[in-house]
Amino acid sequence: MMSKQYSPETYDAVMSLLKNGDTPSWRKVREITGHGASNAIVREVRQIMSELAERSAGGDYPKAAQDAFWNLWMNIKEIALSEFSQERDQFRSEAEDAKKAAQETMELLERAQERQAEREDQIILMREQLNQAAQREAQLIAQLAHANGRIDQELSRMEELRTAHKAEIATHDRERVEWQAKLEAETEQRHKVVADITLEHQRKVERLELELHNEQARYNDDTARFLRQIDEERVLHRKAEKEAQEVWHKLSAQLSQVNQEKAHLAGQLQVMQKEMDKVSLKNESLEAKNDALHTEISKLNALLTEQTALLHQAQLKVVSLTDNVTHQEADA
């Protein structure tokens, strides 16, 4: 029999789960104990279940308990195999990810090496350019030394010319002093003129300031007078507004009275309208009767016309008969 390599807490947790009819997975055991790595808990649970299986096989438990332990052991074994398969798949996935990361790292390393080679090529090129620049600098230094020699020669020549033309230079200096004296005198004269102009300008400014002060005083007086006029007009406006309000109230009262009279007239008008409607109905009835009478009169006129025509024919016949009788009497 193997030695115990599990903690009492794990054993108590496993037995508690078995008593409750639950499968003692490492997650449930850790929920009870509150600590422990998954691999360590799985190892301890396996050892505990192995001991229980050995006890069951040794006859320490009844047959029903042995069968129950055996079934439980098979279930735990299946769960452990399932968890092992999941962890194996997870490890494989992590290994694939690590392999991909390693490949990406190698690619990055190759790119870095390529960039390093490019930089080394650039450094070599820059060194060549620096060497060329150093050679160019040496050439420029030589040219500068040659130019400095020529400048020294020109300075010596200028000094010789200065010595040769010293008298002319002295004459030019005297002329310069004379012109400078004239310039100073003219400048002083201009300063006097400017001072006079400035004084005159100050006088004009003082006169303008006085005029401005007078204008300001006059403006203040006009403003005060204008404000007084505005106040008087405001008082008059308030009086006129008050009178207008009184007139408005009177007109409102009159308008109210007119509205009342209008309402009264409207009532009378409605009554008259009703009377007019009645008269209209009577008029329509009379017109209908009048139309009927006109129809009858038309019929009578037609009949009268017919009778008149018949009477005229009868008169013609009578006249004809009378003429015949007259002729007969005359013949007789």
Instruction: Tell me how far apart the alpha carbons of residues 308 and 312 are, in angstroms, rounded to a whole number.
Output: 6
**Structural domain contains residue 88:** yes
Predicted local distance difference test score (pLDDT) of residue 68 = 65
**Structural domain contains residue 191:** no
Structure tokens at 185: 């005198």
Range of the domain at 101: 8-112
Sign for the CA dihedral angle at 289, 291, 295, 301 comes to positive
* Diameter over CA atoms, the chain: 197
Structure tokens at 271: 């009554």
**Structural domain contains residue 87:** yes
Consecutive sets of 10 residues in the chain, 332 residues long: mean pLDDT of each?
72 87 85 88 86 68 61 69 74 79 84 84 84 82 81 78 72 79 80 80 81 83 81 83 83 83 83 83 83 84 84 81 77 68
Residues 6+ apart with CB under 8 A from 33: 7, 9, 10, 13, 41
**Structural domain contains residue 237:** no
**Structural domain contains residue 25:** yes
**Structural domain contains residue 289:** no
Predicted local distance difference test score (pLDDT) of residue 58 = 62
Of 39, 43, 51, 40, the residue nearest 15 (C-alpha): 51
**Structural domain contains residue 299:** no
Q: How many domains does the chain have?
A: 1
Predicted local distance difference test score (pLDDT) of residue 332 = 64
Q: What are the DSSP calls for 175-198, one per residue?
A: HHHHHHHHHHHHHHHHHHHHHHHH
Instruction: Tell me how far apart the alpha carbons of residues 42 and 83 are, in angstroms, rounded to a whole number.
Output: 10
**Structural domain contains residue 90:** yes
